[in-house]
Structure 1
C-alpha cells in the first residue's frame, strides 16, 4: 500500500505508532467500500428525512455507518500525512479534506446566510420556511457535498464553535457523513479551560464513544527532522539563494525535484473572497513579498495563511524605506500572524533583518518585528508546535 511504499523509498522510518494508525485507516477503508454517497443528484426533499441508518435497514443490510477516526499526537508525527494518504485513496467520490478552522468559518457563514433567507430561499436550499434553527439545514448542505470529511488540526478555542459542534457533528453523522480528524490534543483536552466548558462535554463524550480514538506519539518528529541543517534566512536575493529556497521547499514537502513543474497551487477563502497561493504542498506555502505586502491585504488574509500552513516561504523581501511604509506595515502584521501561530518562516531578503526598515514611519515599532525574525530562526522556535499559543 501507499504507506509501505513510503517506507521502502526511505521517506519515513518504521514506526509502530504509525503502523497502528494505518490499521485503523485500513479498517475504515474497508467499511467505506460500497458505502452509499449523498450527492447533489438527490433532491432537496429526499435529504430532509434521509438517514443512512435507514438506508441499511431498508436494504436488508444490518451494517451500521462506519465509525469515525480521531487521530491525536505531537507535532510532526505524521498525522496529516496519514490522513492525506487515506483521503486520496478512500473509495468515495464525495470527499473533502479541509483545515478545521477553515471549516468552522464556513459553517458560521452558512448559518448567517440561512438566518437571512426568505421562506422560498430556505425551501430552495433544502429546508423548511419556518426552520429558524440553522444547524440541521447547514448539516444537510454539507452532507450533500461530502460523505467523507477529513479535518486537519482540530482545536477548539472559540466559544461560538464549542456551542455548536456537538449538534453539528450529530446531525452530520445521522446523515451518514463519516468524519476523520487529526489533533494535537486528546479529546478530553479539547476546549480545555474554555468558557462554559461543561456545555461542551457532550461533544467530547460523543468523540470518545463513537470514534476510534488513536494516539500517534512515536519517537520521530518528521517535521523537525526535515528542518535540520536548513537555514531559514537567506541573503542577498540572487539565483543562489532562490535555488536554496527551492531546494528547501522540496525537502520540507518530500517532493521529487523532477516534479518541479507539478507543484500545486492553492486558494484560501477570506471574508468571501479568494486569496491565491502560488505553491503549496504538505502544509508548506510559497509567496513572494510583492504578492503579500505590495498588494492591499490585511490581518484577515495573514491569519488565514497562518492557520492553514505550518511553514511559509517568502521570496525577495526588499530593503524598505519611507516610500515603502505601507509595505513595511503589512510585513509587520504578516510576521505577527505567523509568530503568534508558531508558523515557520523561510525567506530570502536583500539585507539582514536589522537593516530591512531602518527609517520611516513605524521604524521604531519595526524593531519588534526584527526581534521576532531573529527568534524565528532559533531551534526553540522551530521546535514549537503549529497553532495559536
Structure 2
C-alpha cells in the first residue's frame, strides 16, 4: 500500500526550503501568495472530507449547503512563479477529490459531457433537458478542489456557459484556485456578447479572493538558454536546417500520414515518424481546430515540428489558435521545433485586445520551450 500523503508541511515551508537550498531567490510577494494558499488548505482541512451525493444529487443541490471555503484567483505577469506555487498547493491539498488542469482542457471536457448528456436526452435515456446541473454534479463527485492553470476566456462557447456552470459548482461546495495573466475584470475583454459573460466575474469575486502576484523578475527569461529549435527567418537556409532537424530526429524513418479520430471527425497529421509529427502553420492554425484537437495531438506525439509561422495579427483567428496551441504543447512538455518569419517576441508587432495581451504569455513560453531546463524535462518524460 502507498503511504498516505504528507499534509504536515505548508506552501510557505516548501517555498522557504527552496530558498534555503539556493534553488530560487527570496520573493516577498510569492510568500504572500503562499500564505494565502495555506489559508485555503487549512479551511479545506477543517471542513473535513466532502460527502458524496446520490446519483441524482443535482436534483437536491439547492437543499444541500456545503460549508463555504473561499478560493483564490491569482493574477500576474508571465514568469512570476504562479505555476510553481500552484504545484506546491495542489500536492499539499488535504482532499482526495481534486483536479488540476489547464483551463482549456477543463472546458473541452465540460463541452464533451454536455454533448453526451444531450445525446442521452435525444435517445430518451434521460428527461432532464438542462445538461448543466447533472454535468456540474458529476464534476463535483470527481473533485471538490479545482485548480486551473492559465485561466483565460477566449471562446464564446466557454464564456456563455461559465456563469451557470460555476453557480452549480459553487453551490455544491467546489473550491476554485486559479492562476491567470489577466485580472478578472479583463477576462474575455472585447469578446462577443461580453455583457452575457460579466455575471461570471461577479460570481468569481463572491467565491474567490483576488490576489496579484507581480514581482520585478520574469524567472522564465532568466533561465533561458537558447537552443537551435526556433529557426528564423524563413528562407532557403532555414528550410534546409528544418529538414535536417526532422531527418536527425526521425533517424531516416519513412514518415507516414496519420489521422486522429475526434468525435465523428478527423484531425489530419501530414507526416509522423518515431513519435514526432510534422505540420505547417496552416495545418494547425488556419484550420477550424480547437483546444481538444491540440490536446489529442500532444497526447500522441512528443515532438511537434511546425513550419512557416508568419507574423501574426491580433484580430486573426489563427493568432488565437496559435496561443492555444502553444499553451497545450507547453503544458504537455512537448518539444517544439519551428521555422518562423521572426523571433517569438516579434511575431505580433501590434498587440491589442485580449489576444494581444495574452500573446505576452505565449512569447515567454516559447522562450522557455527553448531552454535547457524545459528540454531536459521533456527528455525525462519521454524516457519514462
Give 3-state SS (helix, strand or coil) of 2:85's partner.
helix
TM-score by length of 2: 0.63
Q: CA deviation at 1:314?
A: 4.1
Partner Cα separation in structure 2 for residue 43 and residue 149 of structure 1: 21
Aligned to 1:214: 211
Change (3 A) 1:74 1:332: same
Instruction: Kindly indicate whether the alpha-carbon contact (under 8 Å) linking 1:302 and 1:334 is maintained by their aligned counterparts in 2.
Output: no
Residue 155 of structure 1 is aligned with which of 152, 165, 175?
152
Range 179-188 or range 29-38, more displaced: 29-38
Q: CA deviation at 1:72?
A: 0.3
Change (3 A) 1:98 1:52: farther
Give 3-state SS (helix, strand or coil) of 2:216's partner.
coil
Q: CA deviation at 1:43?
A: 2.7
Aligned to 1:142: 139
Partner Cα separation in structure 2 for residue 307 and residue 202 of structure 1: 32
Partner Cα separation in structure 1 for residue 42 and residue 205 of structure 2: 22
Name structure 1 gaps, 5 residues minimum: 56-63, 123-128, 243-268, 274-287, 318-329, 350-368
| C-alpha distance after superposition, 1:255-298 (max 9, x if no partner) | xxxxxxxxxxxxxx98359xxxxxxxxxxxxxx97423269xx6
Instruction: Kindly indicate whether the alpha-carbon contact (under 8 Å) linking 1:232 and 1:346 is maintained by their aligned counterparts in 2.
Output: no
Aligned to 2:40: 28
Aligned to 1:185: 182
Give 3-state SS (helix, strand or coil) of 1:151's partner.
strand
Between the two proteins, the alignment pairs up a number of residues equal to 291
Instruction: Kindly indicate whether the alpha-carbon contact (under 8 Å) linking 2:65 and 2:173 is maintained by their aligned counterparts in 1.
Output: no
Instruction: Kindly indicate whether the alpha-carbon contact (under 8 Å) linking 2:72 and 2:208 is maintained by their aligned counterparts in 1.
Output: yes
Instruction: Kindly indicate whether the alpha-carbon contact (under 8 Å) linking 1:97 and 1:150 is maintained by their aligned counterparts in 2.
Output: yes
Q: CA deviation at 1:159?
A: 1.4
Partner Cα separation in structure 2 for residue 151 and residue 271 of structure 1: 24
Partner Cα separation in structure 1 for residue 86 and residue 307 of structure 2: 33
Partner Cα separation in structure 1 for residue 137 and residue 37 of structure 2: 26
Name structure 2 gaps, 5 residues minimum: 1-12, 231-240, 250-259, 265-271, 312-317, 350-358, 366-384
Q: CA deviation at 1:378?
A: 7.5
Partner Cα separation in structure 2 for residue 302 and residue 68 of structure 1: 26
Larger Rg: 1
**Coordinate RMSD, CA, aligned:** 4.2
Q: CA deviation at 1:48?
A: 3.2
Change (3 A) 1:308 1:205: farther
Change (3 A) 1:86 1:148: same
Partner Cα separation in structure 2 for residue 302 and residue 138 of structure 1: 20
